[in-house]
Structure 1
């Protein structure tokens, strides 16, 4: 069996989670994962964080009781890393403190506005994330990681990498799979099996989130759009004229919604003059990719 190693990007809510971050990192390393991430963020580290997310197989969020360092826009770097991971269709695992209000006061947000942002983002994760696991202590966190990360690997097989000494085993496996594919294609041709496909004119409805700007403020909206499969294919075809990773599906569609989502936003905010940060629902994205 190949000794595949997977890369995990760790994003934490704030410096108050440093002890838990150490437990998380050490546990992942002991399980054979490669764990990395940025403990201290600023505008200069954003590009590095995104590159690390791009190169990772999984993204792990560790949420405690603080909103975390804020970017120039007022959004925390923690939330921005989450949004970027979503846009790259990365499997996301959330380890969340079960009772943040029970933690020591010096570990909680004291500023009302930051506390409101923290609660709003926690609620957002509870609504959107598919894989959330709770902990109350570092020991709880370690057990949750050991129990659930292997299940994530089974459900979302990452690209990973294998040591050079095992590369020839991988090449043999590739050749075996190629032979199996040729065999199945031959069987398919002989039996004249036709796959059920959607028609180009069929309508596909999906939800997406987008930030709309009006009167000097911005609001995050959840909108629904209906498009034919032919329209979706036309959008994607412009970006996939040359070979590109499958993860680029989400990026292409989000860019399109950023350019075309203003009218959708104006249904709720009639005076909206600009939109940004579009994020297609990850379940809809999975359906499109299938």
Structure 2
């Protein structure tokens, strides 16, 4: 469905000497259902003049400049407002057409420049505009006709958004835009969802999986006389084992304190009854191992490593550590029970009478 658009056109020129010509141009634009814009059409305002001009040019779809026999008064920039407008339209990439008087020598003296400097600047402006699309005219009536034909062609070769009635836009343009944006959103969502479950770049270079990490920790115990002793030890735990346990605690999120307690519990569970503990001569005669605490440096290293592996992330809005979608996927593979798992556990080794512990596939 085609939508009726009205294009806004900025008309730039000197004013007093081209009053009749501007009238013809504006009439031609109105007949083309265009919206003419020029400084004489705007009410007095407290807004800075050049700021207003730029804003109006920005809002226009096309820019035309009419050059007769006058250059115009020179502004603070050392050039006339007409040239300043033209250069700004060039700079902002507006589709432009210049309409130059064909024979400036035939223009009456009252409508030409007497100042030598202004004459030079006028010639320079004519030369500048002729580097882009330009047309020539002799009379005001001819100018109106030339503008009409030229603008119709420019609109075809350089289509611009124009202005659309709100009700028309709501009925058609907005619907098309909504469909286009919805397609973009759906594509981005699909890409985002895929990326969330993908392994982050560079992870292959990091320690992970069954590689072990030496975790230093401290704990207290009592000797046979009831005296309290402090010990520091190291236990080697694989990254999978660390994540399998701490990740299970993150389903609803963990605060920093809860994260610390979780790591302490993992170390305590792994160490008590381990071969490292049983063979530790210094612990002979000591009971009640308690107050396990991972040293601060290793605690931070574990947090950073799991985050670098894309398994966890810190949600600052709720001040908690959470599993990433990728982390959730990895945890499911580590912790989910495969089909037939308990059937395998029930099988008893004939020689030892000890149930076999089948491996959980990762």
Which string of whole-angstrom CA distances, capped at 9 and with x for unpartnered residues, describes residues 177-217 of structure 1?
Answer: 679999xxxxxxxxxxxxxxxxxxxxxxxxxxxxxxxxxxx
Aligned to 1:95: 99
Aligned to 1:20: 21
| Aligned counterpart in structure 2 of residue 164 of structure 1, from 158, 163, 166 | 166
Q: Is the 8 A contact 1:12 1:39 kept in 2?
A: no
Q: Aligned pairs, how many?
A: 182
Larger C-alpha radius of gyration, 1 or 2? 2
Aligned to 2:138: 136
Counterpart Cα distance in 2 of 1:78 and 1:138:
19
Aligned to 2:147: 145
Q: 1:49 aligns to what SS in structure 2?
A: helix
Work out whether 1:38 is the aligned partner of 2:45: no
Q: 1:94 aligns to what SS in structure 2?
A: strand
Aligned to 1:85: 89
Counterpart Cα distance in 1 of 2:35 and 2:55:
15
Counterpart Cα distance in 2 of 1:126 and 1:82:
12
**TM-score of the superposition, structure 1-length normalised?**
0.57
Superposed displacement of residue 32, structure 1: 0.5
Q: 2:39 aligns to what SS in structure 1?
A: coil
Aligned to 1:231: none
Counterpart Cα distance in 2 of 1:143 and 1:15:
21
Superposed displacement of residue 176, structure 1: 6.4
Change (3 A) 1:151 1:179: farther
Superposed displacement of residue 172, structure 1: 3.7
Q: Is the 8 A contact 2:98 2:130 kept in 1?
A: no
Q: Is the 8 A contact 1:69 1:76 kept in 2?
A: yes
1:1-290 to 2 correspondences below 5 Å:
1-39=2-40, 44-127=48-131, 129=132, 131-167=133-169, 168-174=171-177
Aligned-pair Cα RMSD in Å: 2.8
Q: Is the 8 A contact 1:14 1:67 kept in 2?
A: no
Which string of whole-angstrom CA distances, capped at 9 and with x for unpartnered residues, describes residues 159-190 of structure 1?
Answer: 212112212121344356679999xxxxxxxx
Change (3 A) 1:3 1:102: same
Give the gaps of 5 or more residues in structure 1.
183-290
Change (3 A) 1:78 1:40: farther
Q: Is the 8 A contact 2:13 2:67 kept in 1?
A: yes
Give the gaps of 5 or more residues in structure 2.
186-362
Aligned to 2:299: none
